[in-house]
Structures are given as structure tokens and as C-alpha cells.
Amino acid sequence: MINIKSFWYAITGLAHALYIERNLKIHFVALATVCILAGITHCNSIEWSILILCFAVVIGLETMNTAVEKSCDMTTTYYSTEIKVIKDVAAGAVFFASVCSAIIGAIILLPKILELI
């Protein structure tokens, strides 16, 4: 049976992360920009699917990075090189996914944009 409360908790968590995390806001602005460009350039369903998959990976990793950072912050109030590594690795995953997604977006959208010019 579907638990509606679980959906509510997930939506609330995403909204909270969007409210408090500057980088997540930046990712959502990029998402909106790409959606507008994809609409203007008439991307097909496969191109849209690839772009949506990129959105899901980047936003998913960014929210997980937020959870990792908050969890680490709760475990200690002093500087820890181990926690620094954990946070840096989580941030690195977001960075890698973001760069790959930007490249994929450019591969899909740049030729279409250049055709419009």
C-alpha cells in the first residue's frame, strides 16, 4: 500500500534543501534554463529523456551531498580531516555529474541553438 506521508516527507525534504542550499538553487536555475532552451529548439523525446536523466542525477547527488554534509556536521563540532574528506568526496560527485551533464547538454543543445542563429 502506498504511504502518502512518505511522498510528503520527500517533497518537504527537497523543498527544505532548495530553500537552504545555494548550490541546489543554482542547479534548479540551470535546469529551468535547459528546459527553456530544449523547448525553443524542439528537442525530441530521446533528447528530453537524456536531459531529464541528467537533471535527476545532478539534483539527486546535490541533495545527497546536503544530507552527507548535515550528517557530518552533527557528528562533531571540531575540525576533522576524515570529515573533510567525506564532504569533499560527496561534493566531488556532484561536481563530476554537473560537468558531465553540462557536456551532454551542450552536445544536445549547441548544434540546435547554432541552427537558430
Catalytically active residues are 62
Residue 52 near residue 34 (C-beta atoms within 8 A): no
What nine digits make up the cell of 35? 528546459
Please calculate the CA angle 96-24-78 and round it to the nearest 5 degrees.
80
Q: 92-113 b/e with 16+ CB inside 10 Å = b?
A: ebbeebbeebeeebeebbeeee
Q: How far apart are CA 117 and CA 46, in angstroms?
A: 23
The position carrying cell 534548479 is 28
